[in-house]
Every structure is written in structure tokens, then in C-alpha cells.
Amino acid sequence: MSLKGLAAKIFAYKIAWKTASWSKRPFKTQDKVFQNLIRKAKDTTFGSDHRFKEIKNHSDFISRVPIRDYEELKPYMSQVIEGKENVLWPGKPVYFAKTSGTTSGAKYIPITTSSIKNQVNASRDAILGYIHETGNTGFVDGKMIFLQGSPVLQEKNGIKLGRLSGISAHYVPSYLQKNRLPSWETNCIEDWEEKVNAVVEETVGQNMTVIAGIPSWVQMYFERLKEKTNQNIGDLFKNFELFIYGGVNYGPYKKKFEELIGRKVASIELFPASEGFFAYQNSQKENGMLLLLDSGIFYEFIKADTFFEEDRKRITLQEVELHTDYVMIISTDAGLWGYDLGDTIRFISIEPFKIIVSGRIKHFISAFGEHVIAKEVEQAMQEAMDQTDAKVNEFTVAPQITPAENELPYHEWLIEFERKPSNMKDFIETLDQSLQRQNSYYYDLIAGNILQTLKISSIKKNGFQEYMRSIGKLGGQNKVQRLSNDRKVADVLLAQKEN
């Protein structure tokens, strides 16, 4: 074991002890975070407007702080963007993470000194947790690549501005700098395809041991490597041990990855966002991600199926139930208060609190009352690939409300196949039956002849990449919307349909 490996093992033990300490006292830990957030922000504009000095408990908080998304928080956010101090959090943020908005164009999410520290520490702790559990340290001496956005930052009213992954690139620890790829110059390339090609050139002869990024874009990187070398990734990088990912469910990509790599590698799932780092996979033996309760974020939850009702109930960890979809509401040390993140999660353990991401509250199909979520279509796709010889690169799902005359409505699956199933009928039946088992509303609609069995439209090779390029979201942290409640995505994608 190298000196660096030994140091990593010792550090991993310390972090594991610290993590166990707060995870065994979840309610006390969250209450401490809550009280600390309120105390620090009580003299801000937001704290004054919402009478933070009178808040003693969660009930007080609910009565004074409504749930808001970015648009609803914008009157305060605009003041922060203009450079005013002490608006949502003491002082000014050190960064704005620029993200793509839906109704408002670009969103500028504040990042403070404490929130970026928590982001960086969570990334570090996820890897150290893997080391502590497995005892594997050999990878720390190899090269590590993080496919991310450009680290070049702009400035807005004296505050640095960029993509979260680009901001994070400035916080790579000094002891990893020599291990890190790609080079700074390559990382600064804005055009994603040009960047991927440059990354291939820089890494093709290196001892790559850790590779990280959103699965769809790492897949592109792997495919370019294979085209160049005509080798499996596992043969090209003989010591490649660990794949780190976040942003989307790895399940639909796993079969394709194992084919490209030529063997299985360990993986760690992360749940980061511009608004905070919420969870990471802390065990190779169990599913789910450990919810980070000691990282400057106070969590509230609303049952997803009641979210749009007037009398929806906001609860804390003490009231959550297993295997129920919740919309996650956050208050953070970056000055987000009662903030609707838009993600839905599901608890799969409460000792400790572990979650999976089940989708987006705005990304679902309920055109007929079925409320199908991302987790369900991804599980269906996983089963269909496991039970057939199909290989899928990417897919999205949308309702077809106005089909041809005398035809029932249906769900349209737009799929880019790496290899089409030899029996398409069996593939469709497996998809549809899985969705019916998971979602009783969908089952009832099929059984009641309100909907017909799903249909598939095959998208040509690289069609999803062309779609993402056409909307200016190729590469980086961008990902394909898994499902929609309308035809906006589907109708544009159909331009990439196979003839």
C-alpha cells in the first residue's frame, strides 16, 4: 500500500466515525442544523420579513415561511443578483451557479462559503466511505477524470458565476491535482464534442482508475475511446475500478456500460445539485443513498400525490414513511428557504435515513390520471433489457392524447436502440406489464380500455445527441428529460425518428 493509500485509509476511518455519529442521531442533528440556520439568518432581509427572531420550532417556521420555487423567491434573489448584502444570507454569496430555467431563462443559485465547503466535503466523503467499506485504496495512485463543465468563471456584480461542476473544479484538493485529468486547458473547452475528443486524446494512454460524470456523457466518452483504440474500456484501463455518477438513474445505462467496459466495476451514486449536496451511496452492499443531515441543509417533505392540493402537509424526518414518494423541500446555508427543489425522493431505510431519487414533480405523465413517474419507466426499461436481447442508449416517454381515428390514446416511448430486440412484441409487452405492476392507475386505464398498450418510435443513432444539441444542452450536467406530460419534447425528437 502506498503512503497516499495509507493516509486515505486513516482519513476514511475518521470520516466514517463522524458520519456514523450524526446518522445515529438524525432528529437531534437536523434540529441543530435548523436552529443554526435560523439564528444566522435572523437579521437578513428575508429573516426580518419572516420574523425569524420569533421562530422556535418547525411549526413556527411553517406559519411564517411558505414553500417557494425559484420564481416565487425571485424578488429576493433579484436583490442578491444586483449585489445587495444580507438579503437571504449574511453578506454576499461567493458564487452563483448558473442553471437552465424553464419559465425564467437562466437561474442564478447562490453559493456561500459554507455551502461550497459542504458540497466539496460530501464529494470527498463519498469516496472515503467506499475506501472504509471495501479497504480498496489502489485507485488513489492512478489518474481520475471528472467529466464536467468549463471552470472558466464570469462575474456578475462582483460575484463569480459559472456551472456548478466548473465551480467545483476550483476545489480539487492539492493532493489530487497530479492525479486529475483532463488538463485545465481541455476542461475549459466549451464545445462538448470537441472537449470529449480532447479528453480521449489526453487519457488514452493513462492509468485511469476513477471516472466520474453523468452516465449519458461518460457513455459518449467510452464510445469514442473504443472507436479510437478498438479495445474494451476495461482492457484499455486495466486498473479502472470506480465509476462515480449522479444526475440520472444508472440502471438503464448499466448493461451498455458493462459491454463497453468488458467487466463490472464498482460505482458510487451521488445526489448533488446547484442548491446543495443531498446524499451519496455509502455502501456497495445496499441500495440507496445516505441523506446528509449534517451539511447545512434542513429538510421538509410533502407527499407527492398531495403536492398540488391546498391542504398539503409539510413534515420532517420524524414523520416520513418508507416507500412513499415525497417532494423534497430544503432550507440551506446558501439562503434558500422553504425551497421547492422539484425532485421527488423515496425512503428505502430509516435507520439510517437512505433514499432513492424517484423523479421530478413536474416531470411525470398524468394526461389520463395515471401519474407515472421516472422511477417507474426506468424500472420497466431495466426489466425489458434484462429479459430480452435489446440494448438501449437513451429514451423518453410522452402521452399521445390525439391518436389516429378509432384508436385509443397511449404512451409513446421514443427509444434510441443500440440493438433492437429480436422480438419487438415481447419487448413492448415486458415494458407495459412492468409499468402495470408498478402503477395501479396505469393498470386500471389499460384494463378499462381507456389506454391501449404503449407504442415505440425508434430514434436513429445519435438522435438524442442531435436533439440536445438543437436545444443548446449537449454535454456537461445536462440530461435528457425522461418523461413529459405533453408533446413538446417528443414532437421535436420525432425529427430524429428512423425512416
Residue 105 predicted with pLDDT over 90: no
Higher pLDDT: 307 or 297? It is 297
Angle between helix 251-261 and 215-229 (nearest 10): 20
Beta-carbon contacts of 126 under 8 Å, excluding residues fewer than 6 positions away, are 244, 268, 270, 280, 281, 282
CATH fold label, 1-362: Rossmann fold (3.40.50)
Q: Residues 335, 275: contact at Cβ < 8 Å? A: no
Angle between helix 251-261 and 374-387 (nearest 10): 40
Note the pLDDT of residue 52: 97
**Residue 198 burial (CB count, 10 A):** 17
Dihedral sign, Cα of residue 392, residue 396, residue 401, residue 404: negative
pLDDT tens figures, 332-374: 999 999 999 888 999 999 999 999 988 777 777 877 878 788 8
Up-side HSE of residue 216: CA atoms within 13 Å toward CB? Answer: 24
For range 66-73, the mean pLDDT: 93
Residue 276 predicted with pLDDT over 50: yes
Q: How far is 35 from 341, CA to CA, in rounded Å?
A: 21
Note the pLDDT of residue 100: 64
Note the pLDDT of residue 476: 63
Q: Residues 376, 439: contact at Cβ < 8 Å? A: yes
Note the pLDDT of residue 192: 80
pLDDT tens figures, 161-182: 988 888 888 887 776 678 888 8
Torsion of CA 490, 491, 496, 499, to 10 degrees: 110
C-beta contacts of 470-473 below 8 A and 24+ residues apart: 473/100
For range 106-132, the mean pLDDT: 93
Q: Report helix, strand or coil for 97.
A: strand
pLDDT tens figures, 408-464: 899 999 999 999 999 999 999 999 999 999 888 898 889 878 899 999 999 999 899
**Residue 142 burial (CB count, 10 A):** 17
Angle between helix 440-447 and 424-438 (nearest 10): 120
pLDDT above 70 covers a percentage of the chain that reads: 98
Q: DSSP class of residue 477?
A: T
Going by pLDDT thresholds of 50, 70 and 90, the confidence category of residue 477 is low
Q: First vs last Cα of the chain: how many Å apart?
A: 56
Q: β-strand 154-156 against 159-162: which pairing, if any?
A: antiparallel
Residue 224 predicted with pLDDT over 60: yes
Up-side HSE of residue 358: CA atoms within 13 Å toward CB? Answer: 23
Mean pLDDT, all residues of the chain: 90
Strands (E), 252-367: 266-273, 276-280, 289-291, 297-303, 325-332, 339-350, 353-360
DSSP-based helix, strand, coil % in the chain, nearest 5 = 40, 25, 35
Looking at the chain, which residues constitute the CATH 3.30.300 domain(s)?
374-496
Q: How far is 328 from 361, CA to CA, in rounded Å?
A: 10
Closest to 214 in 3D by CA, of 166, 172, 176, 165: 165
Which cell is 360 given?
A: 421530478
For range 5-13, the mean pLDDT: 90
Note the pLDDT of residue 471: 81
Note the pLDDT of residue 204: 94
Closest to 246 in 3D by CA, of 274, 271, 211: 271
Residue 104 predicted with pLDDT over 60: no
CATH 3.30.300 fits 374-496, yes or no: yes
Q: 180 — phi, psi (to 5°)?
A: -85, 135
Which cell is 30 given?
A: 437536523
Note the pLDDT of residue 216: 78
pLDDT tens figures, 75-99: 999 999 999 999 999 999 999 998 7
For range 205-211, the mean pLDDT: 93
- pTM of the predicted model as reported, rounded to 2 decimal places: 0.81
Beta-carbon contacts of 58 under 8 Å, excluding residues fewer than 6 positions away, are 34, 300, 316
For range 210-230, the mean pLDDT: 90
Looking at the chain, which residues constitute the CATH 3.40.50.12780 domain(s)?
1-362
Cis peptide before 182 (omega within 30 of 0): yes
Closest to 241 in 3D by CA, of 142, 120, 163: 142
Q: How far is 463 from 473, CA to CA, in rounded Å?
A: 14
For range 184-208, the mean pLDDT: 89
Note the pLDDT of residue 103: 41
